[in-house]
């Protein structure tokens, strides 16, 4: 396990934040947080308050999004990951989204399956709201959680909601700990077809046409040769192996380009 400071990456998903984020937290969570903050303020106003969210499950290569409003200060992010270079992140202390809201946003994308311990720390002197969600192309995996919101980046599914009161407007430190389990994508049902993105689809079609042409040529050539001069069984075996290998390669390309390939 390696502790690694996050770095920023340019392909930000900020413009795909849904226009209406849920604002009603779970009542039990709200009461628990209120009690914790009241005790913290009485005992030590400078105490850092930690919230833990265990057993958050997502798919590898989906993008976890933590959205906080109003924006916070001194935002930092750390992570314990299965190994190095297996995730990427972007975080922004103050961003105005397309709907003119000021927010702080953290994006994290696990690249391989495994457990990740995500630590988000910041300061705030007011009541703040938060949503932990995920951008995905596979809404079925998250179907038991709730209805997804459709965005141009894919589906956005809310995993957790939070509201933290701060009645005295004291500057407090917060740590949000998210214990993340990422799963690999597995083969889908034969009755469910996931199409690749348009660019990948175009590449897949071109490769598929080329492979189909090559296989057709060898099959027809072998057929007509067998009628005119006869060919050996070895040649037919080689043609059959060529077709089998071609089908396997096309299937492998499909799983890679469509993002299917849950373990």
Residue pLDDT, tens place only, 224-249: 888 777 778 888 888 889 899 989 88
Task: Assess whether pLDDT exceeds 70 at residue 169.
Answer: yes
Full-model pTM: 0.59
Task: Assess whether pLDDT exceeds 90 at residue 123.
Answer: yes
Give the N- to C-terminal CA distance of the chain in Å, as an integer.
20
Q: How far is CA 90 from CA 61, 96, 229, in A?
A: 14, 15, 66
Task: Assess whether pLDDT exceeds 60 at residue 88.
Answer: yes
Each residue of 3-16: pLDDT tens digit? 343 333 334 444 45
pLDDT-derived band at 202 (thresholds 50, 70, 90) equals confident
Task: Assess whether pLDDT exceeds 60 at residue 45.
Answer: no
The per-residue pLDDT of the chain, averaged, comes to 79
Question: In the chain, where are the structural domains located?
Answer: 2-183, 198-258
Task: Assess whether pLDDT exceeds 70 at residue 154.
Answer: yes
The backbone torsions φ and ψ at residue 156, rounded to the nearest 5 degrees and listed phi first, read -115, 120
Spatial contact of 84 and 114, defined as CB atoms under 8 Å apart: no
* Across 44-67, average pLDDT: 86
248 vs 261: CA distance, rounded Å? 14
133 vs 180: CA distance, rounded Å? 12
pLDDT score at 66 = 95
15 vs 45: CA distance, rounded Å? 36
pLDDT-derived band at 189 (thresholds 50, 70, 90) equals very low
């Amino acid at each position: 396990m390696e502790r690694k400071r996050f770095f920023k990456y340019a392909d930000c998903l900020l413009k795909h934040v849904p226009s209406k984020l849920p604002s009603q937290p779970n009542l039990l969570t709200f009461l628990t947080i209120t009690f914790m903050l009241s005790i913290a303020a009485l005992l030590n106003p400078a105490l850092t308050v930690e919230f833990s969210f265990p057993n958050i499950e997502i798919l590898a290569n989906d993008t976890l999004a933590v959205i906080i409003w109003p924006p916070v200060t001194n935002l930092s992010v750390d992570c314990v990951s299965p190994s190095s270079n297996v995730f990427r992140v972007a975080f922004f202390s103050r961003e105005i989204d397309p709907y003119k809201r000021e927010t702080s946003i953290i994006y994290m994308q696990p690249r391989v399956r495994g457990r990740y311990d995500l630590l988000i720390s910041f300061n705030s002197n007011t009541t703040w709201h938060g949503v932990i969600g995920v951008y995905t192309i596979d809404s079925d995996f998250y179907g038991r959680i709730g209805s997804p919101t459709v965005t141009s980046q894919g589906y956005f599914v809310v995993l957790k909601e939070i509201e933290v009161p701060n009645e005295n407007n004291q500057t407090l430190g917060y740590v949000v700990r998210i214990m993340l389990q990422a799963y690999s994508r597995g083969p889908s049902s034969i009755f469910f077809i996931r199409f690749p993105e348009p660019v990948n689809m175009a590449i897949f079609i071109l490769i598929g046409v080329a492979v189909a042409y090559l296989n057709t040529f060898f099959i027809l050539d072998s057929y007509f040769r067998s009628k005119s001069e006869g060919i050996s069984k070895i040649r037919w075996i080689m043609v059959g192996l060529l077709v089998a290998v071609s089908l396997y390669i096309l299937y492998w390309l499909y799983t890679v380009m469509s993002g299917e390939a849950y373990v």
